[in-house]
Structure 1
Amino acid sequence: MKILHVNAGLEQGGGLSHIVNLLTEAKKEEKDFELLTLEEGPVAKAARAANIATHVLGAKGRYDLSSLKRLTAFINDGHYDIVHTHGARANLFLSLIRRKITATWCITVHSDPYLDFADRGFLGKVFTKLNLHALRNANCVFVVTKRFAKLVVDKAHVDKDKIHVIYNGIFFHDNSEIPAKYEHTYFNIINVARTEKVKGQALLLHAIKKLNDSHVRLYIAGSGSELSNLMALSRQLDLGPQVTFSGFMTQAQLKNLYRRMDLAVLTSYSESFPLVLLEASDNLLPILSTDIGDIKVMIPNPEYGFIAKTGNVDSIVNELREAVNKDPKELSAMATREKKYVADHFSVKKQLASIEKVYKQLTK
């Protein structure tokens, strides 16, 4: 099978990791997978660095519909069996040419399609409708949680027979490959996420204030439209040296920062199956999350991590307090236990095998 994955190309978070990890595993297994990005950007750069066969369509901006003819020709001339899109813009472009291509079309839903453009006013509503239209018209829709499967069937009215739930995975490292932790004075918490409202960092700042523990330090690693507002909120809450805004960080920078951390926290209102928590677990950090996506599949019981109620500051405070007050040896044992569990269940190899099984059914 010849497979083409398509993305707009401007992703910097979990979407980028998902695509590059999956295609890296496909390359290792000598599968015929290629990547096309609509624009030059972080995704193409990361894919090239991983020696993935990468093409750039050269769209001149987000709404360059003149590139649709080139996209159609690229797919048909390449004789691809499957075209697999990631992200709303790639979905839109494929929906506009779907009747002109010979390949079977698949989509991966990485996030709640009703929240992707929630803060963009009228245009956001238009993009949401177009993306939902694309989901209904694709031949196959991969979703990364059972909650998203129910959402796109019940609310977006996507044919349930098209839906396939396949959890995200990452490349896990042997514990001997993980650098030892640096000694540090404070209890350090890291939040790795885009600084957008859906990621709930404002909740986390309020929780840190309410926790009222000067021994705790929070590092927010991410950039986005809410960064300046979050910095202002931190000042307003008089959190001072307790909070550090690190901005966007590369994987290498994060790995180094993880060596000083005691807990990884995600307080989002909505998520799929968050890779950042798998990555933190790989680095032997215990994890705390709000009850988003299928997080209870990742954290099956309190022996493996902490789960707070979504959108509930008091619940977040309670889980933070339990983590902060837990004996360090118990916290370390929890991190080790969680890593073994997720490494057994959520590897990229398993993810690719599940996706390929669907591809083969579609191309029979």
Structure 2
Amino acid sequence: MFHILSLLKQLKNSVNVTLGVFHDEVMAAKARSLGINVKVFKQHSQFDLTVAKEIKEYIQDHNIDILHSHGARANFISLFVKPRKNFKWYLTVHSNPLDDFINQGIKGKVFTKLNIRAIKSADQVIAISERFKNDLIQLGVNGQKIDTILNGIDFNIKPKTRYNREMLDLKEDDFVIIMIARLEPVKDHETAFRGLKEALSKEGNIKLLLVGDGSRYEELQNVAEEMGLSENVLFLGQRNDVTELLTIGDITILTSLSESFPLVLLESARAKKPVITTDVGGVKSLIPNEDYGYIINVGDADQLAERILNYYEMKENGKIEERGELLYQHASENFSEEAFAQSVLNIYKKYTR
């Protein structure tokens, strides 16, 4: 959602844009508040393909030049918006298609195949990291129609207020880690828990705040309890105040199995919070060396614990803020919202009639 709204907020100053959604909910409301035109193509169910005809008619009636789909369902429905003689179909890949439906059985396998078919059928594909471009080529997507564009965010956004740790029953001397991630298998919260537990064996005042909701909410609460982490892991659910929440953290972590170019890391950079992330997507562009943050192997809880303790020591020595400042300077100079949108616009102009 944030990727798309960030893009449209910038593009609407240069071209006419409309956000098409299947449900008139949070995303549509946020778009309208930004002055973005919204069209609801209401589905009666997740498998309702009749909206494809409605989308096609809308494109024809409004002389649309570009259809740009985001997400597996939108990608698949776009397959049926034919013929495409008068407009170009662009598709952005935000994650490895093989990881989008982990642990969802036969349904997940079917959706994965449909999504890959859609990606192969699009006129042009935008990958949010060079690694994803290579993944797509391995899946049989024509490399000549794939462009790589890394995410960007608005670095002018500032927290409305600085939160007090007492709001969450945290102490001033706690070492506070924030993880912003959907509670889904691809985010691999178990590695975060194992790394936290190992770090706690050396230092006892470490807290992990989990920001996000998802299908594993209760399951992960049980996992944390079974691992004896209930006092150290706080489930905050879905929040609309992430910018403010980051003011009470010392560092952020991301233990995902797969990502593109995670916006949450850019949000951490904007907040001048050092990061630890698994080696996924395009994170090495944001973290070129250890002066800017730590990159660990996917699933490596030992590495995670080691890096948490490294930052813990930096905080004790009064040096952790220097790391956050370095990350901020690098990110704000290279991954702005404006640069991101201009890159997309350049690709539109390159391939569209």
2:338 matches 1:349: yes
What secondary structure does 2:231 align onto?
Answer: helix
Q: Matches of 1:327 and 1:344 in 2, distance apart?
A: 26
Whether contact under 8 Å (2:102, 2:185) holds in the other structure is no
Q: CA RMSD in A?
A: 1.6
TM-score by length of 2: 0.93
Please state whether the residue corresponding to 2:68 is helix, strand or coil.
strand
Deviations 1:46-70 (A, max 9, x none): 2112121111111112111122211
Question: How do 1:128-139 residues align onto structure 2 when only pairs under 5 Å count?
Answer: 128-139=112-123
Are 1:149 and 1:163, in contact at CA under 8 Å, matched by a contact in 2?
yes
Q: Is 1:159 the equivalent of 2:142?
A: yes
**Please, which moves more after superposition, 96-105 or 268-277?**
96-105
Q: How does 1:221-260 map to 2 (within 5 A)?
A: 221-250=211-240, 253-260=241-248
Helix, strand or coil at the partner of 2:248: coil
Match of 1:5 in 2: none
SS at match of 1:246: strand
Q: 1:325 aligns with which of 294, 313, 327?
A: 313
Residue 283 of structure 2 is aligned with which of 281, 284, 295? 295
Q: CA deviation at 1:348?
A: 1.3
Q: Does the 8 Å contact 1:72/1:101 carry over to 2? A: no
1:16-64 residue CA offsets vs partner (Å, 9 max, x unmatched): 000001111123x342121111222222122112121111111112111
> What one-letter code is carried by the residue in structure 1 that aligns with 2:352?
T
Q: How far off its partner does 1:106 sit?
A: 0.3
Who is 2:152 aligned against? 169
Letter of the 1:330 counterpart: K
Quote the residue 2:257 is aligned against.
269
1:24 aligns with 2:5: no
Classify the secondary structure of the residue corresponding to 2:97: coil
* AA of the residue aligned to 2:66: I
Query: What 5-or-longer segments of structure 1 have no aligned partner?
Result: 1-15
Q: Which residue of 1 aligns with 2:208?
A: 218
Measure the CA separation in 1 of the matches of 2:23 and 2:74. Answer: 11
Mapped to 2, the partners of 1:294 and 1:69 lie a distance apart of 36
Determine helix, strand or coil for the equivalent of 1:54. strand
CA contact (8 A) 1:258 1:283 kept: yes
CA contact under 8 A between 1:81 and 1:103: conserved in structure 2?
Answer: yes
Give the Cα–Cα distance (whole angstroms) in 1 for the partners of residues 157 and 68 of structure 2: 31
Equivalent pair of 1:305/1:338 in contact (CA under 8 Å): yes
The code of the aligned residue for 1:275 comes to L
* Percent of residue pairs bearing the same amino acid type: 31
Provide Cα deviations, 1:124-172, integer angstroms capped at 9, x if missing partner.
1111111111111111000000110001012x21111100000011000
Partner of 2:189: 201
Task: Compare 44-53 and 218-227 and name the one that shifted more.
Answer: 44-53
Give TM-score scaled by structure 1 length: 0.91
Q: 1:334 aligns with which of 323, 330, 334?
A: 323
- Corresponding residue SS for 2:173: coil
Match of residue 105 from structure 1: 89
Match status 1:62 vs 2:62? no
Please tell me whether the aligned partners of residues 176 and 208 of structure 2 are also in contact (alpha carbons under 8 angstroms).
yes
Once the two structures are TM-superposed, the CA of residue 331 in structure 1 deviates from its matched residue by 1.1
Report if aligned partners of 1:144, 1:167 keep a CA contact under 8 Å in 2. Answer: yes
Runs of 4+ in 1 over 3 A off after TM superposition: 177-183
Match among 87, 90, 107 for residue 74 of structure 2: 90
